[in-house]
Amino acid sequence: MTIQEFQRLIESIYLRKDSARGIPANVAWLMEEVGELSRALRKRDEPEIAGEFADVLAWLCTLASIAGVDLERVASAKYGGGCPKCRQASCVCEG
C-alpha cells in the first residue's frame, strides 16, 4: 500500500468524524498516540510498538487530509532527491 492509498483509506474510514472534530482536537489525539508509541518503545513491547506506529501514521494522515495535504506528494517533493540540504541519498551534512 502506498502512502497515498493509506491516506485515502483513513479518509474513507474517519474523515467525516475527524473533520467535524477539527484540527486542534486531532492534534491532541496525535500527541496522545505519540506518547503511547514512546511508552511502547521504552518497554520494548514489539507487538505494541507496531500498533502504535500504525496509529501515529493514521492520525498524521487524518491531520494532513483535513489540512488538504497529500502526504505522498509532499514527502516525495521534499525527500525524493535525498537529503533536502545536501541532496545526497545518504546524508553527509554536519551534525
**Cβ-based burial of 18 (10 A; exposed 0-12, middle 13-18, buried ≥19):** buried
Beta carbons of 30 and 60 less than 8 angstroms apart: yes
Q: Report, in this order, helix, strand and coil percent for the chain, each rounded to 5.
A: 75, 0, 25
Per-residue pLDDT of the chain (95 residues; tens, 9 = 90+): 999 999 999 999 999 999 999 999 999 999 999 999 999 999 999 999 999 999 999 999 999 999 999 999 999 999 999 999 999 999 999 97
Planar angle of CA 67, 16, 25, nearest 5 degrees: 60
Q: Rounded to two decimals, what is the model's pTM?
A: 0.90
Instruction: Identify the architecture of domain 3-79 in CATH.
Output: Orthogonal Bundle (1.10)
Domain ranges of the chain: 3-79
Query: Which DSSP category does 84 fall into?
Result: T
